[in-house]
Amino acid sequence: MKRTLLAVIALAQIVLQSVAAQSPFSFRVIKNGLSAPWEVRLGPDDQLWITERTGRRVIRVNPETGAVTPAISIDESYDPGESWHEGVLGLALHPELLKNTGHDYVYVAYTYDVDPGPGLSRRLKLRRYTYDQTKSTLSSPLDLITNLPAHDDHGGGRLVFGPDQKLYLTRGDNGGNWLQNYCSPNLSQDLPTASQVSARDWSTYVGKILRINLDGSIPADNPAINGVRSHIYTYGHRNPQGLQFGPNGLLYSSEHGPGTDDELNLIVAGSNYGWPHVAGYRDDRGYVYANWSQSKGTACSALKFDEYQAPPSVPRQRESEWKGTFVPPIRSFFTVPENYDFQKSGGATIAAGGLSIYSAANGIPGWANSVLQTGMTMGRVYRVKLSQDGRTAVGESEELFRTANRYRDIEIGRDQRTFYLVTDNDGLGRTTDPSGASVRTFANPGSVLEFKRN
Ligand SMILES: [Ca+2]
Ligand SMILES: [Ca+2]
Ligand SMILES: [Ca+2]
Protein backbone atom coordinates (compact mmCIF):
# COMPACT_ATOMS: atom_id res chain seq x y z
CA MET A 1 0.00 0.00 0.00
CA LYS A 2 1.68 3.19 -1.03
CA ARG A 3 0.92 6.74 -2.07
CA THR A 4 -2.38 6.89 -3.98
CA LEU A 5 -4.10 4.16 -2.05
CA LEU A 6 -2.49 5.37 1.18
CA ALA A 7 -3.86 8.82 0.54
CA VAL A 8 -7.35 7.34 0.26
CA ILE A 9 -6.75 5.29 3.39
CA ALA A 10 -5.41 8.34 5.25
CA LEU A 11 -8.54 10.27 4.35
CA ALA A 12 -10.74 7.44 5.55
CA GLN A 13 -8.73 7.39 8.78
CA ILE A 14 -9.52 10.99 9.64
CA VAL A 15 -13.17 9.99 9.53
CA LEU A 16 -12.55 6.73 11.39
CA GLN A 17 -10.40 8.28 14.12
CA SER A 18 -13.19 10.63 15.09
CA VAL A 19 -15.44 7.58 15.30
CA ALA A 20 -12.81 5.54 17.20
CA ALA A 21 -13.22 7.73 20.29
CA GLN A 22 -16.64 6.19 20.79
CA SER A 23 -15.85 2.72 19.43
CA PRO A 24 -18.73 0.39 20.18
CA PHE A 25 -16.27 -2.47 20.77
CA SER A 26 -14.15 -3.21 23.80
CA PHE A 27 -10.79 -4.87 23.18
CA ARG A 28 -8.95 -7.48 25.22
CA VAL A 29 -5.95 -9.76 24.76
CA ILE A 30 -7.04 -13.26 25.74
CA LYS A 31 -3.68 -14.92 25.22
CA ASN A 32 -0.32 -13.99 23.72
CA GLY A 33 2.93 -15.85 23.10
CA LEU A 34 1.49 -18.44 20.73
CA SER A 35 3.38 -19.79 17.71
CA ALA A 36 1.50 -18.69 14.60
CA PRO A 37 -2.10 -19.42 15.61
CA TRP A 38 -3.78 -20.23 12.32
CA GLU A 39 -7.34 -21.48 12.77
CA VAL A 40 -9.75 -20.64 15.57
CA ARG A 41 -13.05 -22.43 16.17
CA LEU A 42 -15.39 -22.19 19.11
CA GLY A 43 -16.04 -25.72 20.37
CA PRO A 44 -19.13 -27.16 22.05
CA ASP A 45 -17.04 -27.03 25.26
CA ASP A 46 -16.95 -23.21 24.97
CA GLN A 47 -13.19 -23.39 24.41
CA LEU A 48 -11.39 -21.91 21.44
CA TRP A 49 -9.85 -24.73 19.45
CA ILE A 50 -6.77 -23.32 17.79
CA THR A 51 -4.06 -24.71 15.53
CA GLU A 52 -0.56 -23.34 15.95
CA ARG A 53 1.02 -23.49 12.54
CA THR A 54 4.67 -23.29 13.59
CA GLY A 55 3.97 -24.55 17.11
CA ARG A 56 2.78 -27.73 15.36
CA ARG A 57 0.00 -28.46 17.78
CA VAL A 58 -3.70 -28.15 18.51
CA ILE A 59 -4.59 -26.29 21.69
CA ARG A 60 -7.76 -25.33 23.52
CA VAL A 61 -7.82 -21.81 24.90
CA ASN A 62 -10.27 -20.74 27.58
CA PRO A 63 -11.72 -17.47 26.21
CA GLU A 64 -12.38 -16.14 29.74
CA THR A 65 -9.02 -16.85 31.36
CA GLY A 66 -6.63 -17.45 28.46
CA ALA A 67 -5.63 -20.78 30.00
CA VAL A 68 -4.16 -23.11 27.39
CA THR A 69 -4.84 -26.85 27.34
CA PRO A 70 -2.67 -28.58 24.72
CA ALA A 71 -4.68 -31.24 22.88
CA ILE A 72 -1.91 -32.72 20.76
CA SER A 73 1.54 -32.01 19.34
CA ILE A 74 1.89 -33.15 15.75
CA ASP A 75 5.59 -33.92 15.50
CA GLU A 76 5.29 -35.17 11.94
CA SER A 77 4.24 -31.72 10.76
CA TYR A 78 7.09 -30.03 8.97
CA ASP A 79 7.77 -26.33 8.72
CA PRO A 80 11.20 -24.99 7.72
CA GLY A 81 10.13 -21.64 9.19
CA GLU A 82 10.48 -19.61 6.01
CA SER A 83 6.93 -19.18 4.78
CA TRP A 84 3.34 -18.58 5.88
CA HIS A 85 2.22 -21.82 4.29
CA GLU A 86 3.65 -24.73 6.21
CA GLY A 87 2.93 -26.45 9.49
CA VAL A 88 -0.40 -27.22 11.17
CA LEU A 89 -3.12 -25.39 9.25
CA GLY A 90 -6.83 -26.14 9.06
CA LEU A 91 -8.99 -27.64 11.79
CA ALA A 92 -12.62 -28.78 11.77
CA LEU A 93 -14.78 -30.18 14.55
CA HIS A 94 -17.33 -32.90 13.95
CA PRO A 95 -20.72 -31.35 14.78
CA GLU A 96 -21.40 -34.25 17.18
CA LEU A 97 -18.20 -33.65 19.16
CA LEU A 98 -18.97 -34.11 22.90
CA LYS A 99 -22.54 -35.15 22.16
CA ASN A 100 -22.06 -38.78 23.23
CA THR A 101 -22.77 -40.24 19.80
CA GLY A 102 -19.31 -41.76 19.30
CA HIS A 103 -18.30 -39.04 16.83
CA ASP A 104 -15.81 -37.12 18.96
CA TYR A 105 -13.75 -36.35 15.91
CA VAL A 106 -11.42 -33.47 15.16
CA TYR A 107 -9.97 -33.04 11.68
CA VAL A 108 -6.61 -31.40 11.03
CA ALA A 109 -4.74 -30.48 7.82
CA TYR A 110 -0.98 -30.11 8.02
CA THR A 111 2.15 -30.16 5.90
CA TYR A 112 4.85 -32.78 6.27
CA ASP A 113 8.00 -34.00 4.54
CA VAL A 114 7.45 -37.22 2.59
CA ASP A 115 11.19 -37.64 1.90
CA PRO A 116 12.64 -39.84 4.64
CA GLY A 117 16.19 -38.63 3.97
CA PRO A 118 17.80 -35.19 4.19
CA GLY A 119 15.88 -34.01 1.11
CA LEU A 120 12.62 -32.10 1.41
CA SER A 121 9.48 -33.14 -0.43
CA ARG A 122 6.50 -31.22 0.88
CA ARG A 123 3.03 -32.74 1.15
CA LEU A 124 -0.17 -32.01 3.01
CA LYS A 125 -2.40 -34.53 4.71
CA LEU A 126 -5.83 -34.55 6.24
CA ARG A 127 -5.99 -36.48 9.50
CA ARG A 128 -8.77 -37.39 11.89
CA TYR A 129 -8.21 -37.53 15.64
CA THR A 130 -10.54 -38.72 18.37
CA TYR A 131 -11.03 -36.45 21.35
CA ASP A 132 -10.66 -38.06 24.77
CA GLN A 133 -12.72 -35.94 27.11
CA THR A 134 -11.29 -37.41 30.32
CA LYS A 135 -7.72 -36.61 29.28
CA SER A 136 -8.59 -33.50 27.23
CA THR A 137 -6.33 -34.78 24.46
CA LEU A 138 -6.55 -35.90 20.86
CA SER A 139 -5.50 -39.44 20.04
CA SER A 140 -6.14 -42.36 17.63
CA PRO A 141 -4.82 -40.59 14.50
CA LEU A 142 -6.31 -41.79 11.24
CA ASP A 143 -4.94 -40.41 7.97
CA LEU A 144 -7.87 -39.70 5.64
CA ILE A 145 -5.97 -38.42 2.63
CA THR A 146 -2.22 -38.02 2.24
CA ASN A 147 0.27 -36.93 -0.42
CA LEU A 148 -1.56 -33.76 -1.40
CA PRO A 149 0.92 -31.45 -3.15
CA ALA A 150 2.25 -28.64 -0.95
CA HIS A 151 4.98 -26.04 -1.24
CA ASP A 152 6.43 -22.88 0.28
CA ASP A 153 3.87 -20.48 -1.17
CA HIS A 154 0.06 -20.20 -1.51
CA GLY A 155 -0.78 -23.23 0.56
CA GLY A 156 -4.52 -22.87 1.21
CA GLY A 157 -5.23 -25.30 4.03
CA ARG A 158 -8.54 -23.97 5.37
CA LEU A 159 -10.86 -26.80 6.42
CA VAL A 160 -14.58 -26.87 7.22
CA PHE A 161 -17.12 -29.52 8.09
CA GLY A 162 -20.09 -29.03 5.79
CA PRO A 163 -23.81 -29.35 6.60
CA ASP A 164 -23.78 -32.27 4.15
CA GLN A 165 -21.36 -34.25 6.36
CA LYS A 166 -18.43 -33.68 4.00
CA LEU A 167 -15.08 -32.03 4.62
CA TYR A 168 -14.07 -29.06 2.50
CA LEU A 169 -10.39 -28.24 2.16
CA THR A 170 -8.74 -25.41 0.24
CA ARG A 171 -5.55 -25.91 -1.75
CA GLY A 172 -3.52 -22.97 -3.05
CA ASP A 173 -1.63 -22.80 -6.33
CA ASN A 174 1.74 -23.41 -4.61
CA GLY A 175 2.95 -20.12 -6.07
CA GLY A 176 3.43 -21.29 -9.66
CA ASN A 177 4.67 -18.51 -12.01
CA TRP A 178 5.23 -16.22 -9.00
CA LEU A 179 8.13 -15.02 -6.82
CA GLN A 180 10.55 -17.82 -5.90
CA ASN A 181 8.48 -20.39 -7.83
CA TYR A 182 8.23 -18.37 -11.04
CA CYS A 183 9.59 -21.19 -13.19
CA SER A 184 7.08 -23.74 -11.87
CA PRO A 185 3.92 -24.06 -13.96
CA ASN A 186 0.64 -22.94 -12.43
CA LEU A 187 -1.69 -25.94 -12.12
CA SER A 188 -4.87 -24.19 -10.97
CA GLN A 189 -6.65 -25.04 -14.24
CA ASP A 190 -5.29 -28.59 -14.45
CA LEU A 191 -7.76 -31.40 -13.85
CA PRO A 192 -7.01 -35.06 -13.17
CA THR A 193 -7.56 -37.86 -15.63
CA ALA A 194 -9.59 -40.91 -14.61
CA SER A 195 -6.40 -42.97 -14.43
CA GLN A 196 -4.74 -40.42 -12.15
CA VAL A 197 -7.71 -40.62 -9.81
CA SER A 198 -7.67 -44.41 -9.72
CA ALA A 199 -3.90 -44.33 -9.08
CA ARG A 200 -4.52 -41.89 -6.22
CA ASP A 201 -2.30 -39.37 -7.97
CA TRP A 202 -3.39 -36.06 -6.48
CA SER A 203 -0.78 -33.91 -8.28
CA THR A 204 -3.48 -31.72 -9.89
CA TYR A 205 -5.00 -30.84 -6.49
CA VAL A 206 -3.38 -27.42 -6.66
CA GLY A 207 -5.47 -24.23 -6.75
CA LYS A 208 -8.62 -26.19 -5.87
CA ILE A 209 -11.29 -26.55 -3.22
CA LEU A 210 -11.75 -30.20 -2.35
CA ARG A 211 -14.87 -31.97 -1.06
CA ILE A 212 -14.01 -35.12 0.84
CA ASN A 213 -15.96 -37.94 2.48
CA LEU A 214 -15.37 -38.35 6.22
CA ASP A 215 -13.26 -41.44 5.48
CA GLY A 216 -11.16 -39.56 2.90
CA SER A 217 -12.79 -41.08 -0.17
CA ILE A 218 -14.34 -39.26 -3.12
CA PRO A 219 -18.03 -38.40 -2.61
CA ALA A 220 -20.24 -40.11 -5.20
CA ASP A 221 -22.08 -36.80 -5.75
CA ASN A 222 -18.99 -34.69 -6.36
CA PRO A 223 -19.13 -32.89 -9.71
CA ALA A 224 -17.74 -34.74 -12.71
CA ILE A 225 -15.51 -32.05 -14.24
CA ASN A 226 -14.45 -32.76 -17.82
CA GLY A 227 -16.04 -36.16 -17.27
CA VAL A 228 -13.89 -37.08 -14.27
CA ARG A 229 -15.10 -37.25 -10.68
CA SER A 230 -12.42 -36.60 -8.08
CA HIS A 231 -12.13 -34.78 -4.76
CA ILE A 232 -12.16 -31.52 -6.73
CA TYR A 233 -15.22 -29.42 -5.98
CA THR A 234 -14.08 -26.18 -7.66
CA TYR A 235 -10.92 -25.08 -9.48
CA GLY A 236 -9.09 -22.04 -10.83
CA HIS A 237 -8.16 -20.73 -7.37
CA ARG A 238 -5.00 -18.87 -6.34
CA ASN A 239 -4.83 -19.11 -2.57
CA PRO A 240 -8.17 -19.57 -0.82
CA GLN A 241 -7.55 -18.72 2.84
CA GLY A 242 -11.11 -18.32 4.09
CA LEU A 243 -13.89 -20.88 3.87
CA GLN A 244 -17.22 -21.01 5.68
CA PHE A 245 -20.80 -22.10 5.15
CA GLY A 246 -23.63 -19.65 5.68
CA PRO A 247 -26.79 -20.75 7.52
CA ASN A 248 -28.53 -21.13 4.17
CA GLY A 249 -26.03 -23.81 3.10
CA LEU A 250 -24.14 -21.50 0.75
CA LEU A 251 -20.36 -21.80 0.84
CA TYR A 252 -18.14 -18.70 0.85
CA SER A 253 -14.41 -18.54 0.25
CA SER A 254 -11.87 -15.75 0.19
CA GLU A 255 -8.77 -15.75 -1.91
CA HIS A 256 -5.51 -13.83 -2.20
CA GLY A 257 -5.14 -11.98 -5.46
CA PRO A 258 -1.82 -10.97 -7.03
CA GLY A 259 -1.19 -7.18 -6.80
CA THR A 260 -4.91 -6.61 -7.18
CA ASP A 261 -8.30 -8.21 -6.58
CA ASP A 262 -8.38 -10.31 -3.47
CA GLU A 263 -11.70 -12.10 -3.87
CA LEU A 264 -14.75 -13.07 -1.89
CA ASN A 265 -16.32 -15.98 -3.76
CA LEU A 266 -19.55 -17.91 -3.58
CA ILE A 267 -18.49 -21.50 -4.16
CA VAL A 268 -20.61 -23.47 -6.63
CA ALA A 269 -19.91 -27.16 -7.35
CA GLY A 270 -17.90 -27.85 -10.48
CA SER A 271 -17.13 -24.20 -11.23
CA ASN A 272 -13.97 -22.55 -12.49
CA TYR A 273 -12.91 -19.41 -10.58
CA GLY A 274 -10.66 -18.12 -13.33
CA TRP A 275 -7.13 -18.13 -11.95
CA PRO A 276 -4.52 -17.71 -13.41
CA HIS A 277 -6.31 -16.33 -16.49
CA VAL A 278 -8.37 -13.81 -14.54
CA ALA A 279 -7.88 -11.97 -11.24
CA GLY A 280 -11.17 -10.65 -9.88
CA TYR A 281 -13.40 -9.69 -12.81
CA ARG A 282 -12.56 -10.15 -16.50
CA ASP A 283 -11.90 -6.43 -16.90
CA ASP A 284 -8.24 -6.21 -18.04
CA ARG A 285 -7.51 -3.99 -15.05
CA GLY A 286 -4.20 -4.33 -13.28
CA TYR A 287 -3.59 -7.95 -14.21
CA VAL A 288 -2.11 -9.80 -17.18
CA TYR A 289 -1.34 -13.52 -16.94
CA ALA A 290 2.44 -13.90 -17.33
CA ASN A 291 3.26 -17.57 -17.88
CA TRP A 292 6.93 -17.49 -16.82
CA SER A 293 7.33 -21.24 -16.76
CA GLN A 294 6.61 -21.35 -20.52
CA SER A 295 9.22 -18.75 -21.49
CA LYS A 296 9.99 -19.11 -25.22
CA GLY A 297 13.54 -18.87 -26.55
CA THR A 298 15.10 -18.03 -23.21
CA ALA A 299 14.88 -20.61 -20.45
CA CYS A 300 12.87 -19.36 -17.49
CA SER A 301 15.79 -20.16 -15.19
CA ALA A 302 17.87 -17.55 -17.07
CA LEU A 303 15.28 -14.85 -16.31
CA LYS A 304 15.01 -12.66 -13.26
CA PHE A 305 11.48 -12.53 -11.85
CA ASP A 306 9.76 -9.17 -11.99
CA GLU A 307 6.25 -8.90 -10.60
CA TYR A 308 5.45 -5.84 -12.74
CA GLN A 309 7.21 -6.40 -16.05
CA ALA A 310 7.68 -9.80 -17.67
CA PRO A 311 10.40 -10.00 -20.38
CA PRO A 312 9.30 -10.58 -24.02
CA SER A 313 10.09 -14.31 -23.90
CA VAL A 314 7.32 -14.83 -21.30
CA PRO A 315 3.88 -15.51 -22.85
CA ARG A 316 1.40 -12.89 -21.71
CA GLN A 317 -2.37 -13.03 -21.93
CA ARG A 318 -4.86 -10.31 -21.15
CA GLU A 319 -7.92 -11.39 -19.21
CA SER A 320 -10.21 -10.72 -22.19
CA GLU A 321 -8.06 -12.96 -24.41
CA TRP A 322 -9.06 -15.97 -22.35
CA LYS A 323 -12.49 -17.21 -23.41
CA GLY A 324 -13.13 -19.76 -20.69
CA THR A 325 -16.21 -19.74 -18.47
CA PHE A 326 -15.65 -18.74 -14.87
CA VAL A 327 -17.47 -17.49 -11.80
CA PRO A 328 -16.48 -13.92 -10.86
CA PRO A 329 -16.16 -12.92 -7.20
CA ILE A 330 -19.09 -11.40 -5.32
CA ARG A 331 -16.64 -8.77 -4.03
CA SER A 332 -13.11 -7.73 -4.93
CA PHE A 333 -10.59 -6.09 -2.57
CA PHE A 334 -9.80 -4.08 -4.72
CA THR A 335 -10.30 -3.49 -8.41
CA VAL A 336 -7.98 -0.78 -9.72
CA PRO A 337 -8.33 1.70 -12.61
CA GLU A 338 -7.00 0.54 -15.98
CA ASN A 339 -3.86 2.71 -15.82
CA TYR A 340 -3.06 1.95 -12.18
CA ASP A 341 0.70 2.12 -11.51
CA PHE A 342 1.60 -0.62 -9.03
CA GLN A 343 5.25 0.45 -8.75
CA LYS A 344 4.13 3.93 -7.76
CA SER A 345 1.01 3.14 -5.75
CA GLY A 346 1.65 -0.32 -4.34
CA GLY A 347 -0.53 -3.41 -4.34
CA ALA A 348 -4.30 -3.07 -4.06
CA THR A 349 -5.13 -6.10 -1.94
CA ILE A 350 -5.96 -6.82 1.70
CA ALA A 351 -4.26 -10.25 1.98
CA ALA A 352 -7.52 -12.02 2.75
CA GLY A 353 -7.27 -14.48 5.65
CA GLY A 354 -10.04 -16.44 7.36
CA LEU A 355 -13.68 -15.42 7.25
CA SER A 356 -16.84 -15.93 9.28
CA ILE A 357 -20.49 -15.53 8.40
CA TYR A 358 -22.55 -13.38 10.75
CA SER A 359 -26.10 -14.62 10.64
CA ALA A 360 -27.82 -13.75 13.94
CA ALA A 361 -31.17 -12.13 13.15
CA ASN A 362 -31.36 -10.41 16.55
CA GLY A 363 -27.68 -9.62 16.94
CA ILE A 364 -25.90 -6.39 16.13
CA PRO A 365 -28.35 -4.16 14.24
CA GLY A 366 -27.83 -4.35 10.48
CA TRP A 367 -25.30 -7.13 10.66
CA ALA A 368 -27.48 -10.16 9.90
CA ASN A 369 -26.27 -11.88 6.76
CA SER A 370 -22.77 -10.43 6.61
CA VAL A 371 -19.33 -11.84 5.86
CA LEU A 372 -16.56 -10.86 8.27
CA GLN A 373 -13.37 -10.97 6.24
CA THR A 374 -9.93 -10.55 7.74
CA GLY A 375 -7.44 -8.39 5.82
CA MET A 376 -4.01 -9.47 7.01
CA THR A 377 -1.93 -6.66 5.57
CA MET A 378 -4.58 -4.08 6.48
CA GLY A 379 -4.86 -4.70 10.22
CA ARG A 380 -8.63 -4.78 10.09
CA VAL A 381 -11.70 -6.85 9.35
CA TYR A 382 -14.11 -6.03 6.54
CA ARG A 383 -17.81 -6.57 7.05
CA VAL A 384 -19.48 -7.29 3.73
CA LYS A 385 -23.27 -7.20 3.77
CA LEU A 386 -24.91 -9.91 1.68
CA SER A 387 -28.20 -9.75 -0.20
CA GLN A 388 -31.22 -11.54 1.28
CA ASP A 389 -30.49 -14.66 -0.78
CA GLY A 390 -26.79 -14.53 0.13
CA ARG A 391 -25.69 -14.61 -3.49
CA THR A 392 -24.42 -11.06 -3.90
CA ALA A 393 -22.65 -8.44 -1.82
CA VAL A 394 -24.43 -5.13 -1.31
CA GLY A 395 -23.18 -1.68 -0.33
CA GLU A 396 -19.75 -0.64 0.87
CA SER A 397 -17.59 -2.84 3.11
CA GLU A 398 -17.41 -1.67 6.73
CA GLU A 399 -13.94 -1.65 8.32
CA LEU A 400 -13.68 -2.98 11.87
CA PHE A 401 -11.18 -3.81 14.64
CA ARG A 402 -8.26 -1.68 13.44
CA THR A 403 -4.98 -2.62 15.13
CA ALA A 404 -1.38 -3.16 13.99
CA ASN A 405 -1.89 -6.90 13.61
CA ARG A 406 -2.18 -9.52 10.90
CA TYR A 407 -5.53 -11.17 11.55
CA ARG A 408 -5.17 -14.74 10.38
CA ASP A 409 -8.61 -16.01 11.34
CA ILE A 410 -11.84 -14.96 13.02
CA GLU A 411 -14.54 -16.69 15.03
CA ILE A 412 -17.85 -15.42 16.35
CA GLY A 413 -18.88 -15.98 19.98
CA ARG A 414 -22.14 -17.64 20.91
CA ASP A 415 -23.60 -14.34 22.10
CA GLN A 416 -23.04 -12.98 18.57
CA ARG A 417 -21.44 -9.89 20.12
CA THR A 418 -17.98 -11.29 20.82
CA PHE A 419 -15.37 -11.74 18.11
CA TYR A 420 -12.21 -13.78 18.47
CA LEU A 421 -9.21 -13.12 16.25
CA VAL A 422 -5.89 -14.90 16.01
CA THR A 423 -2.82 -13.03 14.80
CA ASP A 424 0.38 -13.86 12.95
CA ASN A 425 3.73 -13.59 14.67
CA ASP A 426 6.06 -10.98 13.26
CA GLY A 427 9.18 -11.71 11.25
CA LEU A 428 7.70 -12.64 7.89
CA GLY A 429 5.47 -9.81 6.76
CA ARG A 430 3.76 -6.52 7.32
CA THR A 431 0.46 -4.99 8.24
CA THR A 432 -1.03 -1.51 8.52
CA ASP A 433 -1.35 0.28 11.85
CA PRO A 434 -4.39 2.42 12.75
CA SER A 435 -2.60 5.55 11.48
CA GLY A 436 -2.26 3.93 8.05
CA ALA A 437 1.48 3.30 8.27
CA SER A 438 2.91 0.02 7.00
CA VAL A 439 4.56 -1.77 9.94
CA ARG A 440 6.56 -4.96 10.43
CA THR A 441 6.39 -4.98 14.22
CA PHE A 442 2.96 -6.01 15.35
CA ALA A 443 0.97 -4.86 18.38
CA ASN A 444 -0.09 -8.36 19.47
CA PRO A 445 1.90 -11.01 17.64
CA GLY A 446 0.87 -14.65 18.07
CA SER A 447 -2.21 -13.78 20.08
CA VAL A 448 -5.86 -14.49 20.61
CA LEU A 449 -7.74 -11.20 20.75
CA GLU A 450 -11.30 -10.39 21.70
CA PHE A 451 -13.50 -7.58 20.46
CA LYS A 452 -16.82 -7.31 22.25
CA ARG A 453 -19.74 -5.14 21.26
CA ASN A 454 -20.61 -2.94 24.22
CA1 LIG B 1 13.43 -35.32 4.38
CA1 LIG C 1 -11.18 -15.71 -9.25
CA1 LIG D 1 -9.43 -8.51 -13.41
Quote the longest CA-to-CA distance of the chain.
65
Torsion of CA 23, 28, 34, 39, to 10 degrees: -60
Ligand nearest to the CA of 119: 1
> Do you find a cis peptide bond into 25, omega within 30 degrees of 0?
no
What is the DSSP annotation of 392-425?
Answer: SEEEEEEEE---SS-EEEEEE-TTSSEEEEEEPP
Ligand nearest to the CA of 288: 3
Separation of 237 CA from ligand 1 center, angstroms?
29
Catalytic residues: 154
Ligand nearest to the CA of 276: 2
Separation of 370 CA from ligand 1 center, angstroms?
44
Separation of 59 CA from ligand 2 center, angstroms?
33
Separation of 436 CA from ligand 2 center, angstroms?
28
Ligand nearest to the CA of 112: 1
Separation of 336 CA from ligand 3 center, angstroms?
9
Separation of 71 CA from ligand 2 center, angstroms?
36
HSE, side-chain direction, 13 A CA sphere, residue 399? 20
> Can you tell me the distance from the alpha carbon of 54 to that of 424, in angstroms, rounded to the nearest whole number?
10
3-class state of residue 385 by DSSP: strand
pLDDT at residue number 404: 98
Kindly give the confidence (pLDDT) of every residue in the chain, 454 residues in length, as a single tens digit, with 9 standing for 90 and above.
Answer: 445 555 555 555 554 554 445 689 999 999 999 999 999 999 999 999 999 999 999 999 999 999 999 999 999 999 888 899 999 999 999 999 999 999 999 999 999 999 999 999 999 999 999 999 999 999 999 999 999 999 999 999 999 999 999 999 999 999 999 999 999 999 999 999 999 999 999 999 999 999 999 999 999 999 999 999 999 999 999 999 999 999 999 999 999 999 999 999 999 999 999 999 999 999 999 999 999 999 999 999 999 999 999 999 999 999 999 999 999 999 999 999 988 999 998 889 999 999 999 999 999 999 999 999 999 999 999 999 999 999 999 999 999 999 999 999 999 999 999 999 999 999 989 999 999 999 999 999 999 999 999 9
Ligand nearest to the CA of 274: 2
> Can you tell me the distance from the alpha carbon of 150 to that of 193, in angstroms, rounded to the nearest whole number?
20
> Can you tell me the distance from the alpha carbon of 322 to that of 277, in angstroms, rounded to the nearest whole number?
6
Separation of 158 CA from ligand 1 center, angstroms?
25
pLDDT at residue number 1: 44
The three-state DSSP-derived secondary structure of 87-126 is CEEEEEECCCCCCCCCCCEEEEEEEEECCCCCCCCEEEEE
Burial of residue 226, with CB atoms counted within 10 A of its CB: 0-12 exposed, 13-18 middle, 19 or more buried? exposed
Separation of 327 CA from ligand 2 center, angstroms?
7
Separation of 295 CA from ligand 3 center, angstroms?
23
pLDDT at residue number 5: 56
Separation of 275 CA from ligand 2 center, angstroms?
5
Ligand nearest to the CA of 238: 2
